[in-house]
Structure 1
Amino acid sequence: MSSDKYVECQIIVENYDRVCFHNQDTGSDYFGNLYLAPICRKIAKFENLLRAKKLKKRQAFEEFGTLLYKCLFNKDVDNALGEIIKEIRESKETKNPKRYRLQLIFRGEANELAGLPWEFLYYPGSETRRGFFIVDDPYLVISRYISSASGRGNLNITEDSLKVLCVTSEPEEEGIGEVLPDLTIKVIENLKKSYLIDLEVLRNKNKQEVLAKINNIKPHVFHYIGHGRFDSQEQVGEITLVNSAKKVEWVSDRTFGEFFSDFQPRLVILQACQGGEVDFTANYAGLAPQLTRNEIPAVIAMQYPVNNAVASFFSEAFYQALAKGESVDAAMQQGRRKIARDHPFDSEFYSNRDFGTPVLYMSARDGYIMPRPKTIKFDAEVLINSPDKLKKAINILFNSEELANLEKFDDLVFSLRMSYEELAGETQQEKINALVDQLQNEGELESLIKGIKYFKPEAFTNGK
C-alpha cells in the first residue's frame, strides 16, 4: 500500500427520513432522504431469496445491490460519493492513490435497518461509467461502526508477532451439523512460515477452559469456528461450545462478551460453518455488536453460514493482507474479493452470496493491527542462526507493499550472482525458502545477510 492515510467518511442513517454523508477530512456534511418505502417490498423479496440461497446470477446481485444503493445514496449524498469515486479514479494514475474508509452508522429508530445485508451495495453504472460492487474496490473499504465506551482508539499491537487463538467447537450431537475447521487452521499454519504470526488452537473445550486460555496467552486475534444462532424474539445471539460430555453448550452473547472482561483482543472473528439446522446471523443486535459494545474494537462475523472451502479462501487472503501490514478493513476487502473472484464452486464472478457474507464491525479509528513492517528491526546474528526467521524477514522486506522504495526479491538473488528462474519452486515464497536452504547448505548465509543489508540497511538494529 502506498499511503498510510485513509480518509474516513460516514454514512449516517439518522432516522427513517434522513441520511447524512460526513467527510471527516473536510468536516463537510451532505444530506439526502432515506428512500426506503417505495422499494422496501423489492428489498424484502431479494433478501428472502438471498437467505434461501436462491440468488445465483450476477445480474440478480447487481439489481439487489442497486436497490440497497438507492435506499441510502440520493441527492447530495449520491453526489458526494460520486466525487470520492472520481477522486479515487484520478488518483490511481499517481504513485499515491487516495483511499477512503466508508463506515455505515444506524441511529435511533433506524437501528433495525442495520440487519439488512448492506455489504451487497452496488454502485450503479451509466453510459459513461461502469458499475461495481463497493466491496470489490480496494480503495473504498466498507465497515459498520458501533460506538464503544472506550472511545475510538487504534488496533495496533506492540509485539513483533500477531498472536492468534483459534477456538473450534465440534459438539457430538445430532442436528448441530459438521464443523470442519482444519482448512482454515491449515491456512494460518502455512502463513506462520512466512509471516510474523503465532497460532494456538483450542479444540472442543468448555467455557472455563476457553476463558483460562484467553487470560493466559492474551491473543490479539480470537478466531472462533463453530455454530451460532440468533433468537430474534429474545434478541440474543448464541454460539456453541462443548461441555465435559462433549455435548453442545449454548453460550449467550452476554456471557461470551464477558470472556473478554479482563483482556480484550484487538479482533474477534466469528466463523459460522455451513450445515446442520443451526444458522448464525450477523444481526445488529447479535453477537458481533455485543462484543463491540464490550470494547472489542473490531469484530468480523458471517451474515450467512459459509462452506469450509470458502472460509479458508477468505482466511488466506485476509490473514495474508494483515500480515503484510494492511488494515483490518482493507484485509476484509481482500478476503471478499478472493471469494468473489476465486470461488471454488462458481466460475462466474459475484454469482454467489458468499462474497457479501463477511461483515466487519469496527469502533477503532485506525484499522492497523500488525506492527508496520517498515518499523521492524532485525538482528543479523539472530537471522543467520535461524533460517526460519531469515525466510520470514526476506518475505517482509521484499514482498510488502508497505515498504517505500520496494526492491524485488529477484534483485536480491541477482546480487548474489544466482538465477531467480533456476531456484526451486513456483511461488516467490517457495523460491525464498529454496534460496535460504541452498545457501545454508553451502555455508553462505552470511553472504545472503550482506546482500539484504545492501538493499535494506535501515532494517537492521544499530545498522549492523
Structure 2
Amino acid sequence: MPTAKLTIVDDFHGDYEDDLLHSAGENSQVSGRLGGSPLMRDTIELLSHWVGNYDQCGRKELELLGRYLYTVAFGDDCPSSGGPTGATGEPSPLRRAFERAYTFYRQKGVGGCFRLQLVIGGEARQLGSFPWEFLFMPQSEGGFFLAGERSDFVLTRYVPNEDDSKIIEERSVPGDEGSDRMRILVVLSRPQAPGAADIEAGKLVDAIKKLRSSDTDVEELQSPTRQELRQRLEAYPAHIVHFIGHGKDNALTLKKSEWALAQERLDRMPTNSHGSAAQELDEADPADSRSVCSLFCHGLDSGPGLERTSVPRRLIFLHSCYGAAVRPSGNALRSLSSIARDLAGKEGISAVIAMQYAIASEDAERFAIRFYHWIGSGKRVDDAVSWARRELGEISSRGRQVWDDPCFGTPVIYVRRAGVFFPRRLPARSARESGWPQGHRPASYTGGGLSSAPRVLEDRRPGIGRPRDPGRSAERGIGYGAADAASSSGSASGYTPEDALLLGAEPDMGEED
C-alpha cells in the first residue's frame, strides 16, 4: 500500500515524499516550486466556475482543467528558462519525483493501491480553493483522472495532526460495548426562510434508512435547533453524522429556538389598524464554523463506544441536494467546503466529506449508498470514497459517456485518520459475497478467510532488501500503520488473518475468479 504525500506549502512552494523512493526519514524527500503561470491559474478558476454553473462541461473541459491542475501541483513538464520552476528543459523536481515513484510502483508490481495524500497548507490562499479532485495525469496514451478513473490509484486530501489516532488504532478491537453496530445520524435541516431553495433529499434519506440492519442503525433528525442537535448527539453518539442542508456565509443553517421564533413573531405583529400582511417568518439560524465544530464533536468523549480507547471516532458528511429547478448557490457550497476543512482539523474527527459543487439528488443518493456499503464492509474511508466516486464517473445519471460528467469530482474528502473506519469481523464466505470491489479479491482468499497473515512488506528499492519499519512510517503520517506493525510480530502475539482485516491491513489484490 505505497503512499505519497504532496504538501502545497503556499501558492508557490511544495514538498513531496513517498515510502518507495523519497522517504522523509532518509532525507530523500523533494522540495520545489509549484508550476503554472498566472494566466494558467486564472484559467483554472474560470474553468472551475464553468464546471460548477454550466451543465455543458464534459470530458474535454474537465481534462483541460485537470491537466492545468497537475501542472500547478507538480510543476511544468519542460519549463522554459525563467519559468515558475526556475529550470530549463527538464521536469520540475516535484513532477520528476512523483512520476518516478508511480512508474516504479507500476513496473515492479508493488501491490495494493497507490495513495496520493494532498495536503493544502494554510498559506495556500489561491490554491486552497482549487478543485483538486479533477487532477489529470497526462501520459503517452492519454492519461487518467487521479480521483477514481484508475482502480489502483486513490486521491485524498490529508489533514496532518498530532492527536491520539495511532493509539486508538493499536488499542482498539471491535466488540466493545456500543461499538458492535455502526450508527448513522441523518440531519435534514430545512428551516423556512425567505428566498431559500427547498432541499430535495427525500429519496436520499429513505435510501439511507434502508441500510438499517443487524449491524447498522440509522436515525433521522428533522430541522433541529442547536440544542436539539446537541441533545441528540449526547443520547445517540453517532459514528457518522450526515448533514443535508444549506450553507451561507461560512455557516450551516439550523433552526432558531422556539424562544427566538416567538420573539420574531412579536416583532412582526401588524402595527397599523388595517392589519398589514405579516412578513414570512425566517426560521434560519446560521451556525458559524466554530459553533458547528463544537456541535458536531459533541459526545465524542463521553458516548458509549466512542471513548478514546475505542474506534471509530466520527465521520461527518456535508452536502446539499438540488432538484431539476433550483441548485445551491456558489456561496452556499463554498461555505460547506470551508466548514468541512475546519471540522477535519478537530480531534476525534476521522474524516469529513463535502460537496464542492451542486449535485443532483440522484447522484447524491448513488454516491452515499455505495459509500456506506463499503464503509459498513470494513473498508478504508478513502477507498470507500474512491470506489463510490468511480461509479459516478462510469455511470452518468444524465446519459453521458464514462468520465464525461463532472459529478465524479464533486465529493471532497478530508482525511484526518487513515485506515479502516469501522472494522468488521468478516465471516467465511466467497470472494464475491465478501464485499470486495468487483474485479478484485485477496490473492490468498480461499473462501474460508485469508490463508495466512499479511507478509511483512519489504523495501524494494535496488540494493535494499530489509523489511520496512512500519513504526517509522506510521510516525511520519504516511505509509504503513498499526496493521503492518502487528503483522511483523504475528506469530509471537497470536495475530490471526482475521485480525488483519480488523486492523486495516490490505492483502495483495488479484483478479476475481
The interval holding the TM-score normalised by the smaller chain is 0.7 to 0.9
Q: 1:255 to 1:395 in 2, by over 3 A?
A: farther
2:34 maps to amino acid:
L
Deviations for 1:164-223, whole angstroms, at most 9, x for unmatched residues?
A: 111101223342112122222233233334x73211111122111111111111111111
Q: 1:400 aligns with which of 408, 411, 435?
A: 435
Give the C-alpha shift of residue 362 in structure 1. 1.5
Match of 1:281 in 2: 333
Counterpart Cα distance in 2 of 1:351 and 1:62: 9
1:267 aligns to 2:346 (yes or no):
no
Match of 2:395 in 1: 342
SS of 1:70's equivalent in the other structure is: helix
Q: TM-score, normalised by structure 1?
A: 0.73
SS of 1:332's equivalent in the other structure is: helix
After superposition, the CA RMSD in angstroms is 3.0
Give the C-alpha shift of residue 77 in structure 1. 2.1
Counterpart Cα distance in 2 of 1:395 and 1:176: 49
1:271 maps to amino acid:
H
Q: Residue 53 of structure 1 contacts residue 353 of structure 1 at CA under 8 Å; is this kept in 2? A: no
Q: Residue 20 of structure 1 contacts residue 77 of structure 1 at CA under 8 Å; is this kept in 2? A: yes
Counterpart Cα distance in 1 of 2:71 and 2:197: 38
Q: 1:202 to 1:52 in 2, by over 3 A?
A: same
Match of 1:240 in 2: 253
SS of 1:138's equivalent in the other structure is: coil
Deviations for 1:22-50, whole angstroms, at most 9, x for unmatched residues?
A: 11464331233211334223222212212
Q: 1:76 aligns with which of 67, 79, 93?
A: 93
Q: 1:69 to 1:210 in 2, by over 3 A?
A: same
Counterpart Cα distance in 2 of 1:458 and 1:50: 44
1:161 aligns to 2:181 (yes or no):
yes
Give the C-alpha shift of residue 135 in structure 1. 0.6
Q: Residue 363 of structure 2 contacts residue 392 of structure 2 at CA under 8 Å; is this kept in 1? A: yes
Match of 1:132 in 2: 144
Counterpart Cα distance in 2 of 1:276 and 1:15: 32
Counterpart Cα distance in 2 of 1:138 and 1:191: 26
Higher fraction of helix:
1
Deviations for 1:65-114, whole angstroms, at most 9, x for unmatched residues?
A: 0000011113232233223433444466xxx7232321112335324411
Moved more, 217-226 or 107-116: 107-116
Where do 5+ consecutive residues of structure 1 fail to align?
1-5, 232-236, 377-392, 410-456, 460-464
2:30 maps to amino acid:
Y
Q: Residue 389 of structure 2 contacts residue 411 of structure 2 at CA under 8 Å; is this kept in 1? A: yes
1:118 aligns to 2:137 (yes or no):
no
Equivalence map 1:422-433=2 (5 Å)? none
Q: Residue 14 of structure 1 contacts residue 108 of structure 1 at CA under 8 Å; is this kept in 2? A: yes
Q: 2:215 aligns with which of 196, 202, 205?
A: 196
Counterpart Cα distance in 2 of 1:320 and 1:261: 24
Match of 1:12 in 2: 7
Q: Residue 356 of structure 2 contacts residue 411 of structure 2 at CA under 8 Å; is this kept in 1? A: yes
SS of 2:197's equivalent in the other structure is: coil
Q: Residue 120 of structure 1 contacts residue 356 of structure 1 at CA under 8 Å; is this kept in 2? A: yes
Q: Residue 398 of structure 1 contacts residue 407 of structure 1 at CA under 8 Å; is this kept in 2? A: no
Q: 1:184 aligns with which of 169, 184, 204?
A: 204
Deviations for 1:351-380, whole angstroms, at most 9, x for unmatched residues?
A: 23211111111221x231111434x7xxxx
Q: 1:218 aligns with which of 208, 221, 237?
A: 237
Counterpart Cα distance in 2 of 1:227 and 1:105: 27
Q: 1:83 to 1:186 in 2, by over 3 A?
A: farther
Where do 5+ consecutive residues of structure 2 fail to align?
76-91, 262-281, 301-312, 449-496, 500-513
Q: 1:251 to 1:283 in 2, by over 3 A?
A: closer
Counterpart Cα distance in 1 of 2:107 and 2:45: 37
Moved more, 210-219 or 40-49: 40-49
Counterpart Cα distance in 1 of 2:343 and 2:215: 26
1:103 aligns to 2:117 (yes or no):
yes
SS of 1:131's equivalent in the other structure is: strand
1:197 maps to amino acid:
T
Q: TM-score, normalised by structure 2?
A: 0.66
1:370 maps to amino acid:
F
Q: 1:78 to 1:338 in 2, by over 3 A?
A: same
Counterpart Cα distance in 1 of 2:57 and 2:36: 25
Equivalence map 1:325-336=2 (5 Å)? 325-336=378-389
1:150 maps to amino acid:
D
Match of 1:432 in 2: none
Q: Residue 431 of structure 2 contacts residue 447 of structure 2 at CA under 8 Å; is this kept in 1? A: no
Aligned-pair identity in percent equals 25
Counterpart Cα distance in 2 of 1:148 and 1:111: 20
